[in-house]
Amino acid sequence: NFGMSSRETAAAMKDIHGVSISHQTVLNYANSVALWIKPFVDRFPYELSGSFCGDETYIRVKGRWHYLFFMFDAVKKIVLSYRVSPKRDTLSAIQAIDDVLRKLPSLPDDLSFVVDGNPIYRLAQHFFAQHGISFDVRQVIGLTNEDPVSEEFRPLKQIIERFNRTFKGNYRPTHGFGAEEGSVSFVTLFVAYFNFLRPHSALEGRVPVVIPELADLPHMPARWTKLIAMAQAFLQQETA
């Protein structure tokens, strides 16, 4: 919730709650919770607007920069894809778009994605077209509106760029991750927090995805505990 590193979290547990744990215990717990939470986040029946945008940002893994591909419902403020990849390539773009398509009950005729000028998104569009799935790609290029598409769709692109800044504010204290598992766990927990627990000013103080079982709980630890329990129950039903 507060963009703290594992060492800072361990120190807070000691100084505030009198609980002595190592920073590695914090990481182990986060990795375990992320494994439970991820299927719930990925397969939740979101109500979507159809206004989608995508962008990439950087995340450091094992001393090297990786790419984090986000896909976002710009109206509902819901994160729909959050893939960590060592490459900024067409396969990663295909996987990110596919994450969104899998969450749609049906494909609208006017489906489109607002992204930057990277050609990997056009190549991904061609890949899906070859498999009978059609959508438009609206590419916002550069920092100025020198073409009609950039002028029309830049506000949507700016929405996900603001989201990226929010993510970076939480990510920065970690100073990167020693393994890919840690990066995926961190991003998964951030997305769970953003979608289900974090009030959003653009939504008049509501969370993007309202779950009644969480709404009346008195504080954030209780909401996290309930969300984890719901994710565990969901996974048990899926595997039953």
pLDDT at 143: 65
Per-residue pLDDT at 115: 93
The answer to whether residue 115 is domain-embedded is yes
In a domain, 1, yes or no: no
Decide: residue 110, CB within 10 A, 0-12 exposed, 13-18 middle, 19+ buried.
exposed
Residues 206 and 195 sit within 8 Å (Cβ to Cβ): no
Structure confidence at residue 187 (pLDDT): 96
With b for 16 or more beta-carbon neighbours within 10 A and e for fewer, the 44-71 pattern comes to: bebebeeebbbbbbebebeeeebbbbbb
Identify the CA nearest to 167 among candidates 83, 85, 57, 92: 57
Rounded CA separation 68/58 (Å): 6
**What is the model's pTM?**
0.92
Domain with residue 84: its CATH number is: 3.30.420.10
What is the predicted pLDDT for the residue at 2? 85
- Determine the pLDDT at residue 20: 96
What pLDDT, on a 0 to 100 scale, did the predictor assign at position 78?
Answer: 96
Domain range holding 133?
6-239
pLDDT in tens, 124-159: 999 999 999 999 999 998 667 777 888 788 888 888
Count of the separate structural domains present in the chain: 1
pLDDT of residue 161: 87
Q: Which residue has the tokens 């709980």?
A: 217
Scan for tokens 């049906």, then name that residue. Answer: 106
**Residue 201 maps to a domain:** yes
For residue 150, tell me if it sits in a domain. yes
Calculate the average pLDDT of the chain. 91
Report the pLDDT value the prediction gives residue 64, as an integer from 0 to 100.
92
CA distances to 34, 121, 150, 230 from 192, in Å:
9, 26, 31, 12
Single-letter residue type at 32? S
Residues of the chain with pLDDT under 50: none
